[in-house]
Structure formats: C-alpha cells, structure tokens
Amino acid sequence: MTNSKKFALVTGSSNGIGRAIAENCAARGFNVLLVALPEPKLEEVTNALAAKYPNQEFHCLGVNLMDAGAPQEVFQWCQKNNFVVDILANNAGLGNSGDFLSKKAEFYFGQMQLNMVAMVMLTHHFLPEMQKLDKAYILNVASMASYYDIPFKGIYAASKKFVSSFSHSLRYELKDSNVFVSILCPAAVLTNPEVIKRDANMGFVSKITRQTAEQVAEYALSRMFNRKPVSIPGVFPKFYRTLGRVIPHRMQLRMLANAFIKQSRE
C-alpha cells in the first residue's frame, strides 16, 4: 500500500446528501471517490471539486448500484487504481410512496438492491482492506423512517430498518477494531423532486424538521469522527424519535398512514 492514496468513497454523490457528504469530506482535506449513476452530473460534481481543491484527488465511477455485480465493480476499480478507502459512505438510496401494488415488483426489487444489498456488498468487499488501516469509518445512511413502520412507504421504511439493524450489529462486531460504523438518520432534506413534493404535502411537520443536505453532512461527519453511533440531525427529528417510543403502535400506524396517503395518491 506504499504508493496508494487514501480516499473517502461516497455512493450517490452526484446529488443531495451524498454530494454534500463528498463536498464536506473534500473541505476536511480528504481525497474523494464519487460513485453514482452514469449521468453527466457525476462528472460535473467531480470536476467542480477538483477545481475547488486542486491539491486533493477526485475520481468518479458511473455505475448502477441496483445491478448485482456493481459493488464488485466499484471494489475492483479501487483495487486497479490503488485507491485505498478509509471512509465508506453508503448513501445511495431510493424512496417510494403509494399503495404497495401501485408499483411493479421490479421497482421494489431494484429499491431493495440499492438500499440494502449494495450497502452490504460494498461493506463486505471493502472491510478487509479497511481493517488493515490505522483508522477507518463506515457511514451508512438510513433515515428517520427506520424508526417506524410506514403504510404507503413500507418497503422504504423496512429497508432503512435493515440499514440501521445491520449497522448496529456490525459496529458491535468491530468494537475492538480500527473500523467505526456510524448511522445517519435524516428527516426531510429537500434534495430531489419526490422529496420536494412530499415536503409540500407534509406541511408544518416537514417544515420544522427540514434540514439542508449541507447541514446533515456536516453533522453526520462530525459525529462519525467523534465515534457517535447514530446521528439524527435537527432538534425536532430527535423529538419525533422520542414520541415514537411513547405513542402506541396502532396509533403510530394510523398517523403515518394519514401523513403519507395524501402524497401517495397524487
């Protein structure tokens, strides 16, 4: 590893929270590997970072992480180029809303591949190399949705529970090692058209929990480097998390169904 440079690898870094995580890592002096769908935006973001931080390295790989072979492709790309990953941010993820049967089975298959399988596979590929380093971090992006069962958003919420559960378990397994696993659980962040539409429908609740992608990234990375297991950005989301512990489950289901049904029927 003598000639190898260390990098933060961020999935879903051409937009939203992933882009903000990549930018925040760059501002902290890290070299960054940006992985997202093979769209022009990915190169634009990478080039912009390279121009802003000329003394650091930025590389990108366009790949569809819903494809079963994609995590291995990402790993091999790093191996081939001697990129050593000391921060792995598994951020890429896809939401959904609507009656369960309103989407084709293929949609859910892709969503589960992206939200869960790609995260596990990337972690499995990179962890052995990360364990050889003095210090390394894994940041898995879950959601406030991971704390609830959400009618009309069921697969998303379940996939984020998976992210959270897997990350807590792995952190414990690695507790005596050099690799620290942290979980980010954001509430609303206005990043893409689906979230913006949802936000408009959620009204007041969303307005008071909303954070920018930059705020979320700064909070999550600061906490990760301070070895905090979970980051819930914002005061109100923390409050909602506490509410979720005291409101009876049936009532929670009814409240969440009411909140998500409107947007899902539009």
Ligand X SMILES: NC(=O)c1ccc[n+]([C@@H]2O[C@H](COP(=O)([O-])OP(=O)(O)OC[C@H]3O[C@@H](n4cnc5c(N)ncnc54)[C@H](OP(=O)(O)O)[C@@H]3O)[C@@H](O)[C@H]2O)c1
Binding site for ligand X (CB under 6 A): 12-18, 36-37, 39, 41, 64-66, 91-95, 114, 141, 143, 186, 188-189, 191-192, 195
* Least distance CB 33 / ligand X (angstroms): 13
Nearer to ligand X, 171 or 210 (CB): 210
Q: Supply the minimum distance, in Å, between the C-beta of residue 159 and ligand X.
A: 8
Q: Check if the beta carbon of residue 64 is closer than 8 Å to that of residue 115.
A: no
Toward ligand X, which CB reaches closer, 154 or 186? 186
Give the shortest CB-102-to-ligand X separation in angstroms.
19
Kindly state the DSSP code that residue 94 receives in the 8-state scheme. -
Asked if residue 10 lies in contact with residue 35, where contact means CB atoms within 8 angstroms, the answer is yes
Q: How far is the CB of 34 from ligand X (least distance, A)?
A: 8
98: left (phi over 0), alpha (psi -120 to 50) or beta: left
16-27 and 40-52 helices, crossing angle to 10°: 20
Helices (H), the chain: 16-27, 40-52, 70-80, 105-112, 118-130, 154-173, 193-202, 204-209, 213-225, 235-246, 249-264
CB of 143 to ligand X, least distance (A): 3
